[in-house]
């Protein structure tokens, strides 16, 4: 028996799409994925997303599943350069990393964002400082 780490899968799909210069990535729809994608949209790392239902009757294992189509953001110029430079997973299933409000991380000199899982839901470290709560540090993005 194995377990699926949905957050690692989501971050890896975004990272891989970013590396190959794909402007679109498809993710399985989960509540965690929607929360993360909403935060990334709010922070300006992605252009947008849509939720769609797969209705391919040829593939029974995919029937009636919902997916998220994420449009990645690129800087315009002679060469398309992604807004996301790096995504780094911090807390893992085998080693959880927690932070108090007094020790909230500052990512890449304030340019990056730390995403935390708190008692009030997923939020950035900046928001956690405003709400005066700590939590599990899920990943850094810059």
Delimit the domains of the chain by residue range.
1-83, 85-142
Instruction: For residue 93, count other CB atoms closer than 10 A to its CB.
Output: 9
- Cβ atoms of 22 and 72 within 8 Å: the answer is yes
Give residue-wise pLDDT tens across range 38-91.
999 999 999 999 999 876 655 555 567 899 999 999 988 778 889 999 999 999
pTM to 2 decimals?
0.89
Three-state DSSP class for residue 2: coil
94 or 60, higher pLDDT: 94
d(Cα 68, Cα 85) in Å, to the nearest integer?
A: 22
Largest CA distance in the chain: 53
Residues 6+ apart with CB under 8 A from 61: none
Fold designation for 1-83 = Ribosomal Protein S8; Chain: A, domain 1 (3.30.1370)
The CA-to-CA distance between both ends of the chain, in Å, stands at 35
pLDDT above 80: residue 100: yes
CATH tag, 85-142:
3.30.1490.10
């Amino acid at each position: 028996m194995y377990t699926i780490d949905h957050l690692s899968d989501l971050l890896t799909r975004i990272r891989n799409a970013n590396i190959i210069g794909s402007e679109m990535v498809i993710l399985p729809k989960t509540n965690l994925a929607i929360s993360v994608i909403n935060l990334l949209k709010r922070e300006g790392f992605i252009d947008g997303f849509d939720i769609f239902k797969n209705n391919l009757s040829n593939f029974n294992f995919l029937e009636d599943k919902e997916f998220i189509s994420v449009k990645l953001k690129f800087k315009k110029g002679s060469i398309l350069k992604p807004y996301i430079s790096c995504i780094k997973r911090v807390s893992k299933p085998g080693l959880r990393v927690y932070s108090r409000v007094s020790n909230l991380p500052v990512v890449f000199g304030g340019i990056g964002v730390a995403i935390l899982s708190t008692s009030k839901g997923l939020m950035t470290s900046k928001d956690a400082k405003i709400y005066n709560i700590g939590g599990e540090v899920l990943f850094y993005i810059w």
